[in-house]
């Protein structure tokens, strides 16, 4: 059974994407800072007959992220799909944001993704297969002075996806991002729609791999 791991598995896009892959037979690992909340999400999947596990992770701490990947690889044998969904959504202009919080936000929004990719890449390279899926955001395309740290973080996510795409494709690893240009409420249908975009990226034939899709689509 293939393994899907979500870092930053909240009740919206994180859960919906994990459920979408669980429906296709993946064993799911949900990780976040709040174990109690994450257990609730896992129980929802288990109640539907899916296999789901919970791990604690601090996406702002490189050691925590690397240890999470190592533990899951040891237990599951490999990670077939990494979904990095962690984000620190702070409303603060340049003058309003304390320096320590800005560094923390960057660590969550892009630093944790970089460490996670570093950690999963060697095994995926050996297998010559795998997918690294990154939750992007519209702030990467239209940065907001009121949400400066998440704007910089999502720009970093997009740059990382595009920067690694060709190099990793040669190794059989599909790096891709969904740039979410909309507010996504967990109670709406949007999380499932974003999850479907991730599944479509994963399902692309290798000779047709793309690095980015936008949600909602430009022609929607």
- Please state the CATH superfamily assignment of the domain spanning residues 3-215 in this structure: NAD(P)-binding Rossmann-like Domain (3.40.50.720)
Domain positions in the chain are: 3-215
- Per-residue pLDDT of 112-159, as tens digits, reads 999 999 999 999 999 999 999 999 999 999 999 999 999 999 999 999
Number of Cα atoms under 13 Å in the Cβ half of residue 136: 30
Number of Cα atoms under 13 Å in the Cβ half of residue 57: 35
* Residue 135, SS3 per DSSP: strand
Whether pTM exceeds 0.95: yes
Task: Please give the distance of CA 14 from its chain centroid, rounded to a whole number.
Answer: 7
SS3 content of the chain, % helix, strand, coil (to 5): 50, 20, 30
Quick one: pLDDT at residue 99?
A: 86
- Per-residue pLDDT of 86-111, as tens digits, reads 999 999 999 999 888 999 999 999 99
Please, what's the b/e burial string for 65-102 (b: 16 or more CB within 10 A of its CB; e: otherwise)?
bbebbeebbeebeebbbbbbbbbbebebeeeeeeeeeb
- Per-residue pLDDT of 163-184, as tens digits, reads 999 999 999 999 999 999 999 9
Q: Is the per-residue pLDDT at 219 higher than 80?
A: no
- DSSP secondary structure code for residue 92 in this structure: B
* Residue 18, SS3 per DSSP: helix
């Amino acid at each position: 059974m293939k393994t899907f791991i979500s870092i930053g598995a909240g009740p919206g896009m994180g859960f919906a994407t994990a459920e979408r892959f669980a429906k296709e037979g993946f064993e799911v690992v949900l990780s976040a800072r709040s174990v109690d909340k994450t257990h609730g999400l896992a129980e929802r999947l288990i109640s539907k007959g899916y296999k789901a596990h919970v791990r604690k992770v601090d996406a702002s701490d490189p050691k925590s992220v690397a240890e999470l990947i190592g533990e899951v690889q040891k237990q599951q044998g490999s990670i077939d799909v990494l979904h990095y969904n962690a984000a620190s959504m702070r409303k603060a202009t340049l003058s309003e944001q304390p320096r320590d919080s800005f560094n923390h936000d960057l660590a969550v929004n892009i630093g944790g993704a970089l460490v996670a990719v570093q950690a999963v890449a060697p095994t995926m390279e050996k297998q010559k297969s795998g997918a690294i899926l990154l939750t992007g955001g519209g702030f990467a395309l239209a940065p907001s002075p009121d949400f400066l740290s998440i704007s910089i973080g999502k720009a970093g996510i997009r740059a990382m996806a595009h920067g690694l795409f060709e190099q990793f494709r040669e190794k059989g690893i599909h790096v891709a991002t969904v740039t979410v240009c909309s507010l996504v409420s967990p109670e709406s249908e949007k999380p499932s729609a974003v999850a479907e975009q991730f599944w479509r990226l994963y399902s692309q034939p290798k000779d047709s791999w793309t690095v980015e899709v936008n949600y909602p689509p430009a022609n929607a």
